[in-house]
Amino acid sequence: MKLVYGITLSTLVLVICSANICEDRNIKGCQKLAAIKQDMCQDNCMTTLCPRTCGLCPLTCYSCDHVDHPSDCHHILQCTNMTMSCIVSQTVTASLEKKFQLGCVDNLVCNDLYGAIPNRTQSRGRRDVDLIGGCCSSDLCNKYNEPDKISAPTINPVQPSGKTNGFSAACTEMDSEVCRYFSENNGCNLTCVASLCPQTCGKCSLTCYECASVDLPGQCRNRIMCDGHKESCIAVESHVFNFKEGYKLGCVAKQNCKDLLAMNIEGVCCDNNFCNGNYIPTTTLIPLTSTLDTTTASAQSQLGLPTGCTPSFKHEHNECPSKFVRKGQNCYFVGQHARTRHDAMNVCKYLCSRLVIISSKVENLAISQLLSQQRHQANRYWLDAYRNSSSFSGPWHWRSTGDILRRHTYSHWRPGSHDQTKPDGEHCASIGKAESGDSDNGYYWDHRSCTIHAPAICEYPLGHKLLKKK
């Protein structure tokens, strides 16, 4: 093997360590992140956390001036820039001792000494200078037992695309373990870590209710964590696929929230925890004012309607409030969501109405027709009829008005049902489908436990026009 005497590596190699060490924020975190998201190096945020994993750091190389063998070198340095490779080369000292030098070298110098720097697919070409050693292009690749047989893979740096992921709409994070690694040593102080790991870093400061469709915002109980810096809670009126009106709740970008409400859609944008579930639509209770005098309040009470409540009418000429349809001489609202009778009563109360009171066969048939037209029909719906829970043998009465269902009062009980007494407290009335072949008489009434779930039928009497907004 030929040697070039009189040439020392110090004349060829730059070994100045960069002042700004380029390393992954957390090696374990970057490794797991790379396994989860193979295209992570296409995101600026992730490349700032994992520059070495993404091949964006200058190489780290073993660096020693004179060692008997490359395996004796243990000092490590980072090269100054991306145009340098690791090198190991045999040289001689002033006393003609053969030694090895290791460190960083500019790619052009390395090419002059050993030819083109090999990568994974290339074989080594013939060297212009016959020195024992070589250059390589991966971290710590320049320490080998046989320095004349250096062969190491090349890392091809992946350039980021320029896009940066922000908070997700649901304020979720990719992996809790990855976030635990990145949050160590005050990592959450970094904008990138806080954006990737909002839950771990405590940035999910806003909790909203989230439901695709409910009759009223106050009925939603599902929760979602949102980015309080960029998002607001929203409750907005929406039409579901069967054209029934309802409310959609969740979190949305602040500007989008404002744009929606600017379209005159009923709803609210708010920035406090659970605030969208507290939204009361314009159809709900308001304090008594001069427009609701004592005469009006008295009429409300007599009809079993909540006092001090003004319903909303989409147009001034409408006879029925918003969300109600007219059948005969009354307006009705059919709920789409099953709930206990107590909650069903509250649905009607929110809408300035009451659970339905059926006073004639004509009305029973009208309601039966209305229920049969529902796209998603329930087995039963709540009525206003009720009997005292402490005496199941007591009389049935309309709870909103107090009127007792006497023998001469119209009723349409399923045969024998309302006379039964059961220890489970079936003292609330519902209306359900008629027996096969008996549809001409309309839906039957039945007694049920007040804790079962069924949709509400709310009623707003047309004769009570004093309640319209002036």
The CATH H-level superfamily of 206-278 is CD59 (2.10.60.10)
What pLDDT is attached to residue 466? Answer: 43
How many Å is the maximal CA-CA distance in the chain? 127
Mean of the pLDDT values across residues 455-470? 68
- The pLDDT value recorded for residue 317 is 66
Q: What residues does 15 pair with on adjacent strands?
A: none
Sign of the C-alpha dihedral computed for residues 242, 247, 250 and 255 taken in this order: positive
Q: Quick one: pLDDT at residue 469? A: 41
On whether the CB atoms of residues 453 and 337 are closer than 8 A, the answer is no
What confidence score (pLDDT) does residue 458 get? 93
Measured between alpha carbons, how far is residue 30 from residues 23, 141, 166 in Å? 11, 21, 18
* Residue 448: predicted pLDDT: 85
3-class DSSP state of 93: coil
CB 351 within 8 A of CB 333: yes
Confidence of residue 372 (pLDDT cuts 50, 70, 90): confident
Q: CB within 8 A of 257, min separation 6: which ones?
A: 231, 232, 234, 269
Which positions ≥6 away from 217 have C-beta within 8 Å?
209, 235, 247, 249, 276, 277, 278, 279, 280, 281
What integer pLDDT is reported at residue 457 of this predicted model? 95
Task: Identify the band that residue 33 occupies on the pLDDT scale cut at 50, 70 and 90.
Answer: confident
Q: What is the pLDDT of residues 126-155, one digit of tens each?
A: 444 456 788 888 888 887 665 555 543 343
Question: Which residues have a Cβ under 8 Å from the Cβ of 95 and sit 6 or more positions away?
Answer: none
CA distances to 63, 98, 99, 386 from 7, in Å = 18, 12, 12, 106
Instruction: Over range 349-377, report the average pLDDT.
Output: 88
The answer to whether residue 5 scores a pLDDT higher than 70 is no
When mean pLDDT is compared across 149-158, 374-383, 385-394, 439-448, the lowest value belongs to 149-158
Residue 115 binned pLDDT confidence (cut-offs 50, 70, 90)? confident
Spatial separation of the C-alpha atoms in residues 364 and 434, rounded to whole Å? 12
Q: Is 123 a residue whose pLDDT tops 50?
A: no
With bands split at pLDDT 50, 70 and 90, how would you rate the model's confidence at 292?
A: very low
The stretch 162-174 carries a mean pLDDT of 50
Best-predicted range by mean pLDDT (161-165, 218-222, 388-392, 463-467): 218-222
Output the DSSP codes for 230-291: TEEEEEEEEE-TTS-EEEEEEEEEHHHHHHHHTTT-SEEEE-STTGGGG---TTSB----TT
pLDDT at 356: 95
Two structure tokens written together for 157: 């740096």
DSSP letters of 111-166? Answer: HHHHSSPP-SSPPP---SS--SEEEE-STT----SSGGG---PPP-PPPP-SB---
The type of residue at 445 is: W
Q: Is 311 helix (H, G, I), strand (E, B) or coil?
A: coil
Determine the pLDDT at residue 431: 94
Query: How would you classify residue 425: left for phi > 0, otherwise alpha for psi between -120 and 50, otherwise beta?
Result: left
Supply the pLDDT for residue 167.
36
- Whether the predicted pLDDT of 405 surpasses 50: yes
What letter does residue 20 receive in the DSSP assignment?
Answer: S
Computed over every residue of the chain, the mean pLDDT equals 76
Number of Cβ within a 10 Å radius of residue 33:
26
Instruction: Estimate the crossing angle of helix 176-183 against helix 27-36, to 10 degrees.
Output: 150
Whether pTM > 0.75 for this model: the answer is: no
Contacts of 469 (CB under 8 A, 6+ apart): 291, 310, 312, 313
Residue 384, pLDDT > 70, answer yes
Q: Tell me what percent of the residues of the chain surpass a pLDDT of 70.
A: 73
The set of residues, in sequence order, having a beta carbon less than 8 Å from that of 234 and lying 6+ positions away, is 208, 248, 249, 250, 251, 252, 257, 260, 267, 268, 269, 270, 276
* pLDDT confidence of residue 6: 36
Domain 9-22+57-149: give its CATH architecture.
Ribbon (2.10)
- Is 163's pLDDT higher than 60? no
Is residue 289 over pLDDT 60?
no
Is pLDDT above 60 for 325? yes
Domains 9-22+57-149 and 294-467 share a fold: no
CATH of segment(s) 294-467: 3.10.100.10
Instruction: For residues 357 and 360, give the distance between their C-alpha atoms in angstroms, rounded to a whole number.
Output: 9
Residue 322: other Cβ atoms inside 10 A: 18
How is the chain split into domains, by residue range?
9-22+57-149, 206-278, 294-467
pLDDT tens-place string over residues 42-77: 888 888 888 888 888 888 899 998 888 888 898 998
Q: pLDDT band for 224, please (50, 70, 90 cuts).
A: confident
